[in-house]
Amino acid sequence: MRNETHIMIVSLFAGPGGACEGIHQATGQHPIGIERNPDAVATRDAAGHVTLVADLATMTPCDLDVDVDGLWASPPCPAFSTAGDREGHADLEHLCWLAARHITWGPLCAPGGWAHPDSQLIVNTLWWVKTHRPRWVAFEQVPAVAPVWAAACLGLEQLGYSTWSGVLNAADQGVPQTRQRAFLMASRDKLVCPPIPTHSKHPAEVPLWGSLLPWVSMADALGYGPRALAYNRGTGMTERHGDRAPTPISDPAPTITGHGKDMRWVLPAGETRCEPHELATLQGFRDGYPFQGSRTAQFRQIGDAVPPPMARAIVEALI
């Protein structure tokens, strides 16, 4: 029989703790977060999260001597994000092939030639599943990686998992932000389905799930009235995302990124910089979440984090 004191939930690429916040809310357990960034580690420590400081590019699953009950992984996304360099897109076909066919092998090391080194980190997450066989699995990435998660479902099913993959919108779980991310969900215990929405852009038009709430706006989340009229990600982000105008504060925010210098509130008298605590609220973090490091480091952590309500919804659907 397994030693219950060593049965843990593990969060790979744990960042400042967004996924760990949601996992704790869903399970009552504090997962082990594996993270190497000093600012993110300092934030996690200040927030009370358990952290193993390690580089997942070199750490192997066998280095963690615990029974893994649940596994969350949010591999780095700049290689695939519209806000990043997109170099990883050239690796997607190879990643899909590996995910579908090689998950039952290991270690899952490609022969090299990646367009971006972060592509290997996505493959490594599958190695953790093969090694530890957790009861449930949740992977998160930008929508461009959705085909890889769909391919990985084929491999996971060979290991006895029920799976689901697709793109979910954080606004549908009450996050004041229309952040879309690709998720993979898998379980050895139950038939897997995505989380049921709690909110909708047009709640009267989706009777399937019963009574839904409207999306939460920036004004609702922040308590801002006429002081701020709109949210503007700035020229740099407009060029990347194709936004034609600032987002009215009566809407949810667009996807929060780590580019804090580009983010402004549009006021009647002009524009003013957004503060880290404001964007943390738009990511669904609890009030006063203790982000550490410089202003730039805090913005980067906030933009890269998983919204805690989204993580909670995913894990609750799995367990």
Q: List the chain pLDDT tens, one digit each, 319 residues.
A: 334 446 799 999 999 999 999 999 999 999 999 999 999 999 999 999 999 999 998 998 999 988 999 999 998 766 566 655 566 567 778 788 887 876 544 444 544 577 767 778 888 888 899 899 999 999 999 998 999 999 999 989 988 999 999 999 999 999 999 999 999 999 999 999 999 999 999 887 665 666 889 999 999 999 886 566 778 876 444 334 445 578 888 999 999 988 877 888 888 888 888 999 999 999 999 999 999 999 999 999 999 999 999 999 999 999 9
Q: pLDDT at position 246, please?
A: 86
Q: pLDDT at position 312, please?
A: 98
Q: pLDDT at position 315, please?
A: 98
Looking at the domain assignment, is residue 169 inside a domain?
yes
Q: Are residues 74 and 196 in the same domain?
A: yes
* 97, 152 Cβ separation under 8 angstroms: no
* 162, 203 Cβ separation under 8 angstroms: no
Q: Are residues 33 and 115 in the same domain?
A: yes
Q: Show the domain range for 156.
A: 4-201+304-318
Q: What's the total number of domains in the chain? A: 2
What the block records as the tokens of 29 is 């357990």
Please count the other Cβ atoms lying within 10 Å of the Cβ belonging to residue 236: 13
Residue 280 CB partners (closer than 8 Å, separation 6+): 289, 291, 302
* 57, 123 Cβ separation under 8 angstroms: no
In this prediction the pTM is 0.89
Q: Are residues 86 and 28 in the same domain?
A: yes
Looking at the domain assignment, is residue 117 inside a domain?
yes
* 194, 166 Cβ separation under 8 angstroms: yes
3-state secondary structure of 203: helix
Q: Are residues 188 and 279 in the same domain?
A: no
Give the DSSP letter of residue 79. Answer: T
Q: Are residues 187 and 238 in the same domain?
A: no
What the block records as the tokens of 309 is 């309500």
Q: Are residues 241 and 176 in the same domain?
A: no
- Residue 267, phi then psi, degrees to nearest 5: -110, 165
* 144, 128 Cβ separation under 8 angstroms: no
| H-helix or E-strand spanning residue 318 | helix 308-318
The alpha-helical segments, DSSP class H, found in 56-188 are 92-101, 118-132, 146-158
Nearest CA-CA partner of 109 in 98, 100, 93: 98
* 78, 304 Cβ separation under 8 angstroms: no
* Cα within 13 Å of Cα(41), Cβ side: 10
Q: Are residues 166 and 229 in the same domain?
A: no
Q: What is d(CA 231, CA 248) in angstroms, rounded to the nearest whole number?
A: 6
DSSP 11-66: EET-TTSHHHHHHHHHHS--PEEEE--HHHHHHHHHHT-EEEE--TTT--GGGS-S
What CATH number does residue 134 fall under?
Answer: 3.40.50.150
Looking at the domain assignment, is residue 94 inside a domain?
yes
Q: Are residues 93 and 165 in the same domain?
A: yes
